[in-house]
Amino acid sequence: MTQAMYEEGLAYAESNFLDENAPHLHVDKRLIREKFNMDGKKVLDFGCGMGGMSLWYATNFKCEVHGIDIDRHHIKIANDLKAKHDTKNVTFEVRNVLDQPLEGKYDFIVLNDVAEHIQLPILKAIFSALSKNLAPGGGIYVSYPPWRSPYASHVQHVVGIPWCQFMPEGVLLNRIEKNNRPIVGEEESDLLQAYKGLNHLTHDKLIGTLNGSGLRPVYRKSHSFFNKFGPLKNTSLRIFPFDFLITKEFLLLKKTE
Ligand SMILES: C[S@@+](CC[C@H](N)C(=O)[O-])C[C@H]1O[C@@H](n2cnc3c(N)ncnc32)[C@H](O)[C@@H]1O
C-alpha cells in the first residue's frame, strides 16, 4: 500500500470513528444507540475494515471489541488508529473464520456494510460458523445497503448516478472503468474489483443464506428517505415502488430455540 493510500484510509477510518454524521453511518450510529446497549458486552466486529466503527463501539460503550477482517491493509490501518487514539478495549486481527474458526463467545456480532461484499455461499457458511460463537441471548446485527437502493450497494458513489445498477451491464462497467482508481484494500485493490465483489444483496437473498445456520431474524428496520419526516421516523416502507427508496436494511438475528 502506498503512503498516499495509507493516509487516505486512515483519514477515512478516523472520520467514520469520530464523525457522528459520517454520511453512510449516521443512521447506523443512531439506531445502535436507540436499540442496543453494548455496555458490559463482548462485541465481535466482523469485517471491521479499517476499524472506524470498532473504535466507535469501544468508546461509546463500556464493552470489549474484537475486530476481524481478511484484509491485511485494513487491519494495519485499524491497529494504527487504535494506537493513535490510545483505545485499550479493542483488538484487531486478520482472520478468515472459515479457515480459522473463532473460539470465543460474543454477546453481539456486527456485520456493518459487510454482507453485500461476500459471495452468497461463503456468507451462508460464515453465518453458520458465527452462530456457534454467540453467547446465550446474543445476537448478530447485520446492516447493508440493498442492491435495489439508489446507492446500488455503493456503486452510485463511483458512477454518480442513482439506481445505476439498472443500466445495461456494459454501459455500467464502462462508467466504472472510466472512474476506476486504486483503493486501500489488499483483497480488492481498485473500484472495479470492489464492484465485481458485490453480491447484489436483497432481503430475500440474505434470508436464504440463513437456511440451516440455526439463525432467524427477530428484528428488521428498512431505512429510507421517508424516515426524515418526523411522523414517519420509525416506518419501514417496503411495498413496491417504495422499496426502491430503501437505503439501508438493518436486521437482528438470534439463534432458533
Ligand atoms: C465495506 S467494508 C466495511 C468495513 C467496516 N465494517 C465499516 O463499517 O467501516 C467491508 C469489509 O468486509 C471485509 N470482508 C470481506 N469478506 C470478508 C470475510 N470473508 N471475512 C472477514 N472480512 C471480510 C473486507 O475486507 C472489508 O474490510
Rounded to whole angstroms, how far apart are CA atoms 85 and 82?
5
Q: What is the pLDDT of residue 244?
A: 94
Whether residues 103 and 214 share a domain: the answer is yes
Q: What is the pLDDT of residue 232?
A: 81
Whether residues 77 and 113 share a domain: the answer is yes
pLDDT tens string 180-195: 999 999 899 999 999 9
Whether residues 129 and 250 share a domain: the answer is yes
The enclosing domain of 83 has a CATH number of 3.40.50.150
Give the mutation target among 117, 158, 186 for probing the ligand 1 site: most ligand atoms within 8 A of CB.
117
Residue 62 DSSP one-character state:
S
- Name the residue range of residue 119's domain: 3-146+200-255
Whether residues 178 and 83 share a domain: the answer is no
On the question of pLDDT at 257 being above 80, the answer is no
Number of domain units in the chain: 2
Q: Determine if ligand 1 sits within 6 Å of the CB of residue 51.
A: no
Whether residues 167 and 74 share a domain: the answer is no
pLDDT band at 235 (very low <50, low <70, confident <90, very high): confident
Tell me the whole-structure pTM to 2 decimals. Answer: 0.96
Whether residues 217 and 186 share a domain: the answer is no
On the question of pLDDT at 62 being above 80, the answer is yes
- Of 85-99, 156-170, 179-193, 216-230, give the range with the top mean pLDDT: 85-99
Q: Determine if ligand 1 sits within 6 Å of the CB of residue 47.
A: yes
Measured in Å, residue 200 CA sits from the centre of ligand 1 at: 16
Residue 3 phi, psi dihedral angles, 5° rounding: -60, -40
Q: Determine if ligand 1 sits within 6 Å of the CB of residue 29.
A: no
Cα angle vertex 121, ends 223, 251, to 5°? 20
Q: Determine if ligand 1 sits within 6 Å of the CB of residue 100.
A: no
Looking at ligand 1, which residue's alpha carbon is closest to its atom 25?
71
pLDDT band at 154 (very low <50, low <70, confident <90, very high): confident
- Give the pLDDT mean for 200-209: 97
Residues 6+ apart with CB under 8 A from 28: 53, 112, 143, 248, 250
Whether residues 168 and 249 share a domain: the answer is no
Q: Determine if ligand 1 sits within 6 Å of the CB of residue 118.
A: yes
Task: Show the cell assigned to 54.
Answer: 470498532
- Give the pLDDT mean for 107-135: 97
Residues 6+ apart with CB under 8 A from 223: 27, 31, 236, 246, 247, 248, 249, 250
Task: Show the cell assigned to 83.
Answer: 494506537
- Identify the burial level of 100 via C-beta atoms within 10 angstroms of its C-beta, where 0-12 means exposed, 13-18 middle and 19 or more buried: exposed
Cα angle vertex 35, ends 206, 65, to 5°? 80
Residue 47 DSSP one-character state:
T
Which neighbouring-strand residues pair with 42? 64
Range of weakest confidence among 156-170, 177-191, 225-239? 225-239
Residue type, 170: G
- Give the pLDDT mean for 109-138: 97
* Average pLDDT score, the chain: 94
Share of the chain above pLDDT 90, in %: 86
Instruction: Please check whether residue 7 is in contact with residue 29, taking contact to mean a CB–CB distance below 8 angstroms.
Output: no
Whether residues 39 and 84 share a domain: the answer is yes
Whether residues 23 and 86 share a domain: the answer is yes
Residue type, 25: L
pLDDT tens string 69-88: 999 999 999 999 999 999 99
Measured in Å, residue 50 CA sits from the centre of ligand 1 at: 9
- Give the pLDDT mean for 234-248: 90
CA-closest candidate to residue 150, choices 163, 140, 165: 163
